Chain A
C-alpha cells in the first residue's frame, strides 16, 4: 500500500494516500476524458490538473428537493464518494452528510463563502411564492441563501431537474411558485445537470472539466453540457434496432417485452429526450431504465412533468380533455365532426334545391350544356 510521507494538497496524493494506485487514478482520468468526449490525448492534461489543484471548496445547498441527487452522489463509483468527499473536494457544507448542525453548520457555510472561489452545488427548486416562506433554513429563505452563497462563487452547478428548471415542485399548478436556480443567479457561470436525479458520473466529469480547463464545459440551449446531453436517448438506445425493425412490446410481460423489444408503444419518451443514460447507464454502469424494461420518462428535459406525461401515453394529453385522451381520438373526432357537419349541410342543400326546383323552372339548356361540357373536358 503506497503511503505518502507528508500530507499535501494534491488530489493525486490524497487518492494515493489511501491506496488508490496511480494506475487506477489514470484509468479514472481516461474514463472521464472519454465521458467528456475529449480526445484521449487530453487524459494526461486532466491528470496533471488534478494533481496540481488544491481541494476546491464546495457548498452544497438543498432547497425544495428530495435528496435524490445527494443519494445519487453517494453512488459515485470512480472515484468513490468517500474519495470525493474526503479527498477530491472540500465539501464544507452539505446538510445531509455534515457533522455540524444549527449555527455551527451555518458558520461553516459562511466561512466557505467568505473565502470565495467556491463551487456551489444546488439541489432542489427555489420557491418564489409568498416571499419564499415555502423553504427556509436557519430562518432565511432559499432565495436569500442562494443570493448570499453564490456571491463570489466560481461556478454554480445545478444537480437534478428541480434545481435546473423547477422540476416537480414547479409542475402544474406550481403551488409554491418554484423556479430553477438559473432564473435567480446572475454574474456567476451556471451549468445544469438535470435528471431525476442527476447521474453522478456526469457531475464528476463536469467538476473534472472545470478543474482541468478552468471553465465549464460547452452547453446546449437548455444550459446542459453537450458531452452528457448532446444526443437523444433514442439514438443510442440498445433497443433501437427493434424500433427500426418494427418490433414493439405491446403489453407488460409479453414476448416482445421479455425479449427486449422497443418500448415505444409503452410510452417511452426516449425519442424526445437528451441524456446519456444509454451509454453511461446508472449505478456504476449496472443498468438503466430502458435496460430494465420501463420506458424513458424524459427526466432530463425541462418541464417533463407536464410535457412528458401521461407516462404511458406517447404524446401529452391536451388540457380540457381526459388525461388519457390521445391525439388520435381528438383527430378522429375532428374528422368525424367535419364529415357529419358536411353531410348535414348536404341534406339541407338538397332540400333547398328541391324547393327551388319547384318554384322556378330550371333552364334545361344549361343542364345539357354541362353534360356536353363534361364530355368536352374529358377529352
Chain B
C-alpha cells in the first residue's frame, strides 16, 4: 500500500493537490485539496452591487465571462431589473463562444497530453499521418508536407534539449496507447488549436473590448452599443465579422475537435469504465429561448435544468435552488453556529480558519480540515456538475440535437449509454457540447440580427440604475451554467451596499472535500478504483481529474 501525493496538479487552473491511497494497483481512497484562497466574498462586502460583476469576474481568468454574468444576474434578480433582449442575446453569444474556446483549450492544451505521447510522435511517418488524418476528417491542414514540417519542428525542439513545458512529462508510460501517427496528428492540432483559440476569441474583444476579462457587463444590460449607422457600435460590419468567426469555430470543432476526440477515445475503451464518481448530476441549464430570466424561469432553456439521480437517465428531477447548502467540516473555515452544519448560501459565512500543517509540509491531515473548498450539497447529496451533467440532463429531457450527437458518438465507439458515466464519458460529453453550442452560437447571432433589424437598439434597462431607487433591503441569486458546471451567486443588498455575497461554484461542487457525513465529492469518488500502473507516475490520476477540467481559482475564490 502506498500514499501518493500529486501537488501541483498541473494543466489546470490553480492550485490543486490530490492525495491517494493505492493498494494492489488501484486507488482505495482519495482526498482533493485546494491550497489557495483570496477571500473575494469578503472583499465584496460593503461595495456597490453594480461593481460586483467586475470583482467576481476576477475569480477566474479562464472562465472569464461566467462570474460576471452570474453576478449581474444575481443583482438584477435582487433588484427586479430585466435586461433588454439585445443584452440577453449578446450575453448568450459571449457565453456560447466562451464554452467553445474554453473546451477547445481544455481538450488540446490541458487534457490531450494525458492521452498523447509527444515523444512518440517523433517516430511517426508523415505520409501515414496524412492518410490517417484524411480518413477521419476533411480538415485542411492535413497534407504530408504539413506533418513533415510539424515533425521537423518537434525534432528540432527535442534535439535542442530545452523541452520547455514538455520537460519531465510521463513520456513512454505504458498507459499511452496512441500510435505514433495519432500522436503526431494530435501535436499538429495542439499547435493549430493555439492559433485558433486566440483568433476565435477576438469575438470577445469585439463585444467586450478585451479577453480575458471582458469589460462590458452592466447591471441591467451590456455596455456595447448597437447602432447600424455608427462605427462605434455593433453594426452590419461587426455582425459579418462575428459570423465569420463563429463559422470558423464551428468548422474547427466539426473538422478537428470531434474527429480527434473520437480517434483518441477509440484507443482507450477501458476508460469508459473508470472514473464514474458520485452518480448524481446537477445542471442549472442556460440559454433561454425567449426573453426570460434563466435563474428564476427554468422553462424553455436551450440547455435544460434538472438532476439525474443514481445514473438513472429515465428521470430528470426538477431543481429547487433553496436545497443548495455548503458544508465546511473538512474546509479551512468556521461557521458561527458550529462547523458541522450546512448553511444555505444566503445565510452563508466565509470565515477562514486554517488548521492544517505549517508550510513547508509533506502531508495534510485528511482526517481534519484539509482544503480551502467548501462542500456544496444539493438536498444533502453530493453532485457532479459540468458538461457530462448537462449532456445527461439534456439527453434525459429529450433534447433532440444532444440525443443525436450522443447516439452518434456512442455508436461510433460501439458502447452503450452507461459508458457515459466515466472519465472518457466526461471528455466526450464536453466535445459533444462544444459541437452543440458552436452550432447554437450561429442561431443566437441570427436572433440578435433579426432583433436589430426590427429596430431595437436598446442594450440597457435604466430602471433602478440609480441606487436611490433601490429597496432598503433585498436579497436574491443568479444562476448560470458555466463551462465547468452550474454556478450560482447569492447576494444581500442593504442600504445600497453589498451586505453579503456568496458564490457556489462548479469546481467547488466537483472538487470539494468530504462533508460532515463523510460523503466524498465528485473528484474523490471518481478516483476510487482507478488502476495505477506506476505510483511514481500517476498518469491515471491526471486523466480522471483533468476530465473534470478543474479550476481552483473558481472553486476557492
Binding site for B on A (CB under 8 A): 1, 3-4, 7, 9, 14, 17-19, 55, 57, 62-72, 74-77, 80-82, 85-87, 89-92, 94-102, 104-108, 111, 125, 130-141, 144, 168-169, 171-176, 178, 196-197, 251-253, 257-260, 282-284, 286-294, 297, 305, 309-313, 317, 322-324
Contacts and interface: CB of A to CB of B under 8 A. Distances in A.
B231 interface: yes
Interface stretch (B219-227, B408-416, B432-440): B219-227
Given A19-B149, A75-B201, A258-B233, A133 B223 contact: no
Interface string B206-221: 1111111101101011
Contact of B211 (A92, A174, A283, A323): A283
Interface stretch (B303-311, B321-329, B454-462, B514-522): B454-462
Given A176-B37, A287-B205, A293-B233, A323 B225 contact: no
A312 B50 contact: yes
Contacts, number: 348
A96 to B, nearest CB: 6
A27 to B, nearest CB: 17
Given A292-B224, A293-B233, A312-B51, 17 more contacts: A3-B152, A70-B61, A72-B61, A80-B194, A81-B194, A92-B162, A98-B11, A101-B10, A102-B9, A196-B213, A252-B220, A258-B227, A258-B230, A259-B227, A259-B230, A287-B210, A292-B209
Contacts of B230: 258-260
B223 A171 contact: no
Contact of B152 (A17, A133, A293): A17
B35 A288 contact: no
A137 B36 CA distance: 9
B221 A253 contact: yes
Given A85-B164, A105-B8, A294 B496 contact: no
B215 A74 contact: no
Contacts of B365: none
A282 B212 CA distance: 10
Given A139-B359, A252-B223, A253-B225, A97 B165 contact: yes
A305 B53 CA distance: 13
Interface of B: 5-15, 35-40, 42-43, 46-48, 50-51, 54-55, 58-62, 64, 105, 109-110, 113, 118, 145, 149-150, 152-153, 155-157, 159-160, 162-170, 191, 194-195, 197-199, 201-202, 204-213, 215-216, 218, 220-221, 223-227, 230-233, 332, 352, 354, 356-362, 372, 457-460, 462, 465, 467, 495-497, 537-538, 542, 553
B47 A323 contact: yes
Contacts of A125: 38
A283 B48 contact: no
9 contacts: A90-B162, A99-B10, A100-B10, A137-B35, A138-B7, A260-B231, A260-B233, A317-B48, A324-B496
Given A68-B64, A282-B209, A294-B215, A55 B162 contact: yes
A163 to B, nearest CB: 13
Contact of B156 (A14, A69, A100): A14
Given A293-B225, A322-B495, A131 B358 contact: yes
Given A71-B62, A82-B195, A4 B221 contact: no
Contacts of A102: 5-9, 538
A52 to B, nearest CB: 15
A123 to B, nearest CB: 9
A101 B6 contact: yes
Q: Which 10 A-B pairs have the closest CB atoms?
A: A68-B61, A260-B232, A175-B39, A99-B169, A292-B209, A252-B460, A282-B210, A100-B168, A289-B209, A7-B156
B360 A141 contact: yes
A290 B156 contact: no
Contacts of A137: 7-8, 15, 35
Contacts of B497: 322-323
A139 B7 CA distance: 8
